[in-house]
Amino acid sequence: MDAIECIKSRMSIRKFKPDPVPSDILKKIISTAQRSPSYKNSQPWEVAVVSGAKKDALTELLIGLLEKGAPPQPDIPEPAGWPQHIDARIKKTFAERSAKLGVNINDPDLVKKAKRANFRFYGAPHCIFVFQDRDLPSWSIFDAGLFCQTLMVAAHAEGIGTVPQAFVIDYSAEIRRFLSIGDNKRLVIALSTGYPEQIEPSKLFVTGREPLDSIIKWIE
C-alpha cells in the first residue's frame, strides 16, 4: 500500500474479528514501529502484548473496578481542560458523532457503556500496552506517540486494525500489577489489535480535519 494512502485510510477500529494475528505479523509490526525517531535515539518504549485467557482475565478485572466505582488513576493524567479553540473542536466532533449515532455520547450511562467496550478491547484478540520508564522526561511521551503512530500505520499496511485507548489506562496501577510490570514504569496507552470486522459504510463515523489554511502559516 502506498504510504500516503496508508496514512489517510487508517481508522480507529472498534469492532474486531476474534481470529488471532500470527505472532510473526505482530513482530513485524512492532519491529517496524521501532524505526520511529526518538530524541537522541533514546527509544523510550516497551510493549506488552496481551492475548487469550490472560486478556480475558484482565477484562474481568477492569470491568470489576468500573462496576464498583473505583476512581480512575491513569499514569498519564487526563487533561484538566483545553484552550477555547480546541475545546470547540472537541465539542463539534462529539456533537457530530452524537448526531450520527442518534445518541448523546456525553450521557453518563453511555460513557460507562463505552468504558465496558474499551475494557473488552472491542472483541480484539490482542491488546498492545505501551510502557516506558517512569523517570523519563515529558519529551519521551512525544517519542512514544511517534512509536504508536508508526505501529498503527504498519498494522494497517498488513490489514490489521488498531485503536488507541485512553480509557483502558484508567487503572494503570492495577494493570501493571496484573501484568507483573514494575512500578518504575508508566503506562502510556493501550492499543487493541486484530483483524477488523466489516462495518456497514453508512454506520461509520469519520472524524473531520481542520482546513489546512487554519493550521499553517507560510513565512518567507
Tens-digit pLDDT profile for residues 20-61: 999 999 999 999 999 999 999 999 999 999 999 999 999 999
What average pLDDT does range 201-210 have in this prediction? 80
| Contact between residue 172 and residue 143 where contact means Cβ atoms under 8 Å apart | no
Q: In CATH, what number does 3-214 get?
A: 3.40.109.10
**Residue 218 pLDDT more than 80?**
yes
Amino acid at 88: A
Task: Kindly report the pTM of this predicted structure.
Answer: 0.93
- Euclidean distance between CA atoms 204 and 216, whole angstroms: 29
Angle separating helix axes 139-157 and 23-33, nearest 10 degrees: 140
By percentage, how much of the chain surpasses pLDDT 70?
98
**Residue 12 pLDDT more than 90?**
yes
Give the pLDDT of residue 156. Answer: 97
Neighbouring C-beta atoms of residue 199, cutoff 10 Å: 13
* Grid cell locating 94: 462529539
Give the pLDDT of residue 87. Answer: 92
**Residue 66 pLDDT more than 80?**
yes
**Residue 195 pLDDT more than 80?**
yes
- Nearest Cα residue to 119 out of 155, 165, 72, 51: 165
**Residue 204 pLDDT more than 80?**
no
- Euclidean distance between CA atoms 130 and 33, whole angstroms: 12
* Domain limits, the chain: 3-214
Give the pLDDT of residue 137. Answer: 94
| Contact between residue 134 and residue 186 where contact means Cβ atoms under 8 Å apart | yes
| Contact between residue 145 and residue 39 where contact means Cβ atoms under 8 Å apart | no
> Range with the lowest mean pLDDT among 13-17, 109-113, 173-177?
109-113
Q: What average pLDDT is seen over the chain?
A: 94
**Residue 202 pLDDT more than 70?**
no
Tens-digit pLDDT profile for residues 167-177: 999 999 999 99
Contacts of 94 (CB under 8 A, 6+ apart): 105, 106
Give the pLDDT of residue 200. Answer: 67
